[in-house]
A = this chain, B = another copy of it.
């Protein structure tokens, strides 16, 4: 069979594999979009429009929802080459019955009207889940999230811990922690009790992972209780901040071990680099990072699984090597600035060539609204089908059926096994 036909045949079969999306920012109380504004409010569109020349004032809350949409669409001809534009086009085709070839500002009213009409249907959420072949969706929950009022089997809670590790010097975070746990944290011992309470709460509500995003220069080390306690009393200095971050992070890993939760590490983001950027469009990265920074952690917690996401594609080769050597290190998805087909293709190929198939979490959507799973997973599935076709099936290393089996591991079986869902 010719390569294109082979890739197309694989793609069709891969589409049949059900999905468990192991990392999203879905609000389980409002999982699906209710308007086009909620689709185009995704930071990818606001930041690309702004980067391409749109003044931030055109996104001001004082502007009507429809005009905001029109503004963003008005700049789309400047970035209609990007994959993000094609996600949107695919959403319009799949979910809004749009039949045009391209979208411009002239489509604003028709698309907005259509979105309002369709998205208000009572079955919209389940229709989107069904059309997207989504069985379960992992959430990103702040540590003080009550985790009530939604189906925690469908929307799986995950304990996000950035604030605990990096912002515990802030009074608001301390107050949130006290309120959530009924424990006033003043030293390492009380912090440990508070963290245990959080884990108990989350696990009791069906949480399946602890997660955190980390700056490029983070290199976790254990901290003595005495030093950690001191760092909790001295919030101001850089040194105390580093000790506190190390100490809290290490304590989280200990609780992951105790509660048998995988610890998702998303490595490499610098926050607020572009200070005047749009909301959520300010963070960037620094490629000068190494997994050697985490070697003590991986050694110290052999029973904790660490699914690793890397922001710098240049770190992917280290990730392949560390996952090939360390039993508790796993590859996880294609994150943010590495989530372009150019990087996915190279990163995915090397993972498939060097990492045990059972240790790869193929993809997650990182979405804020359910409608994005379909186009983002499709982008990934197209690359996956092509890599499997060209590098594995055409070369005789896998049969078509075996290749689909590998895809099923990456998209479904491994998520089930690793997170025990």
Chain A: residues with CB nearer than 8 A to chain B? 4, 47-48, 50-53, 78-83, 86, 101, 270, 273-277, 281-282, 284-292, 295, 298-299, 302, 312-315, 317-318, 320-327, 337-338, 340-343, 346, 349-350, 352-359, 382, 391-392, 394-395, 397-399, 406
Contact = CB atoms under 8 A, between A and B. Distances in A.
A325 B274 contact: yes
A68 to B, nearest CB: 18
Given A286-B292, A327-B51, A343-B350, A299 B317 contact: no
A73 to B, nearest CB: 14
B52 A284 contact: no
A406 B287 contact: no
Given A295-B284, A314-B314, A341-B391, A78 B357 contact: yes
A353 B79 CA distance: 9
Given A342-B349, A353-B341, A356-B79, A327 B53 contact: yes
B321 A53 contact: no
A284 B79 contact: no
Contacts of A342: 346, 349-350, 353-354, 391
Contact of A317 (B78, B338, B352): B338
B276 A325 contact: no
A298 to B, nearest CB: 7
Nearest to A52: B356
Nearest to A358: B78
Nearest to A298: B274
B284 A354 contact: no
A162 to B, nearest CB: 19
Contacts of A349: 341-342
Contact of A284 (B274, B292, B382): B292
Given A273-B295, A276-B299, A292-B284, A353 B83 contact: yes
Given A317-B314, A325-B47, A287 B290 contact: yes
